Amino acid sequence: MQQFRLRGVVNFDFVFSLFLRSTSALIATPLNIRILLVVVCVLHVVLGASLGLSVDEAHYALYAAHLDWSYFDHPPLVGWAQWPLVTLGAPTWVLRWVPELLWLGTAFLVYRLAGRLESVRAGQAGFWAVLTLALAPLLHVLGIGLLPDTLLVFFTAALMGFTLDLMDTTAVQRPVPWLVWGLTLGLAGLSKYTAILAVPGVAVCLFMAHGWRVLANRWMWLALTVALVLVLPVVYWNQANHWISFTYQAKHGTGGGWEGGQVLKFLVVQMLVYGPLLLWGLAGARQACAKPFRALLAFFLVPFSVLAALSGGGTSLPHWTAPAWVALAPFAGIALARAWADGRRRVVAVIAVAQGLVCAALLGLMLTGGYPVVTNATGQGNAVAPSNPFADLHGWHEAGDRARVLVAEHGLHSVAVQNWTLASRLGWYARPLPVHVLEDRFDQFDLWAGDLPAGGDTLLVDWSQLGYTVPTGEHGFADCRLLDTQPVQRLGRVIASFRFFACYGWSGQPQPHLAGVP
């Protein structure tokens, strides 16, 4: 497929202006908010400097290393935002300042929204709104690692604020609020395809405030044009690549057969990873200072309902709903502030402490590699040798370094893995070596490196947490020999290991087989 490269410098002035406004305004926030944000920021920075890139983080960092108009599975902004730092060779802990700034910007926007919606206890509502974010376990993951959802939660909060501006009868007649709104909507679309789920929320708010006459507003159509122009790179890239992103997303969204049990499982997981404090937002929407402003609740209800329905087909992942929960946070702040003032402090405090403990436990397990909860799990994730999900964040940097050395020593020219989820970390840490995925599945790595040609030689890397049998014979290589084994240690114990094989004479007919699975 023909590849189109993005040339020149990407203009992020609008994004950076939002950051600057957010961070400068934080100075004027109450002391309790500043203390809370400093604590969260320090926590994120320490963890970000101590952990390796996750599979998704590394994949999106590779977007920046292969700058393009768009990509197979996501729009391009997550790669563009990192491109300057990646070009400068910034270390991992510096790259992670991008999601941290986005997290802080999101927190401030939520604080502002809660204060605007609650005129009586504006400061308290803002504090509780930010606290609900700080006590949502999964949102910390988005604050440490840059994912498309990290961008989308920021732009969702900004879009809510700008939509609230446009609900004013004076602002709706001026061009600047509309243009800022259009820029934000376009940048949300460049972040993730599910940004489209925010559009119904915008429509509900504007129709509630102005009725059908809003359709006659020329500035609205200009703003929509701006948003569409911003997302043209995605359309351009897809047109040049046979619309593969849209086809992939359509299939990915529909999933398999629909089951009510999957929806129930989805809802339980949502409560665990975001916590019940945010559910106070459903009560807070009823307590908003003006009835039309309750329409902002659509920013939560529409995406959450759609993604919950999709979960019945097994396709919704927990972090996909993060923008919806962030949209609910200002309303949660209103309800929690009122509950605290009305004397219901004990139940609120108990839930807050419980969520704080869950956050601490999750982040602690990430840091320790699962200790002390997960031990002696160095296998490939089956009943014979269960896996350690926290091992995923450790050892890949060293494995990438070792792969580069072995490739040079043995005259090889590439690295290969047998599952696409293993490719991104090696693609990042062993760069500039190309990484081939030895399975019959089309993905971004086929665009970057292509298939390993028949008869080709490569360095095959196997990871114990997702271990495969060494492929030889009709559906593998003519010969593979073990070059090295590299254990991954955390707190003095082995949590995983890598094996490196020099493999020759690829058959071109992959059939990967998990080790230990009959």
Q: Are strands 415-417 and 435-437 parallel, antiparallel or unpaired?
A: parallel
DSSP state of 119: S
For tokens 């910007």, name the residue: 105
CA neighbor of 472 nearest in space, from 514, 506, 436: 506
pLDDT of residue 384: 55
CA neighbor of 329 nearest in space, from 156, 488, 470, 167: 156
Amino acid at 384: V
pLDDT of residue 96: 95
Q: Cα torsion for 22, 23, 28, 34, to the nearest 10°?
A: 110
At residue 435, the 3 state secondary structure works out as: strand
Written as tens digits, the pLDDT of the chain (518 aa) is 333 334 333 444 555 455 445 444 444 467 888 889 999 999 999 999 999 999 999 999 999 999 999 999 999 999 999 999 999 999 999 999 999 999 999 999 999 999 998 877 778 899 999 999 999 999 999 999 999 999 999 999 999 999 999 999 999 999 999 999 999 999 999 999 999 999 999 999 999 999 999 999 999 999 999 999 999 999 999 999 999 998 888 776 655 677 888 899 999 999 999 999 999 998 887 776 566 788 999 999 999 999 999 888 777 789 999 999 999 999 999 999 999 988 888 999 999 999 999 999 999 999 998 888 877 766 655 555 567 889 999 999 999 999 999 999 999 999 999 999 899 999 999 999 999 999 888 889 999 999 999 999 999 999 999 889 999 998 899 999 999 999 999 988 888 999 999 999 999 888 888 887 66
Cα–Cα dist 346/273, whole Å = 22
The alpha carbon dihedral of 292, 293, 299, 305 has a sign of: negative
pLDDT of residue 8: 37
CA neighbor of 463 nearest in space, from 398, 373, 368, 374: 398
| Phi, psi torsion values for 449, nearest 5 degrees | -120, -20
pLDDT of residue 285: 78
Strand arrangement, sheet containing 435-437: 435-437, 415-417, 458-463, 493-506, 477-490
* Tally of residues, the chain: 518
HEC profile for 266-300? HHHHHHHHHCHHHHHHHHHHHCCCCHHHHHHHHHH
pTM: 0.89
pLDDT of residue 253: 60
pLDDT of residue 4: 35
Contact status, residue 485 vs residue 497, Cβ threshold 8 Å: yes
Write the CA distances from 32 to 20, 128, 129, 137, 353, integer angstroms. 21, 10, 13, 20, 17
Residue 200: how many CB atoms within 10 A of its CB? 15
CA neighbor of 321 nearest in space, from 77, 142, 103, 94: 142
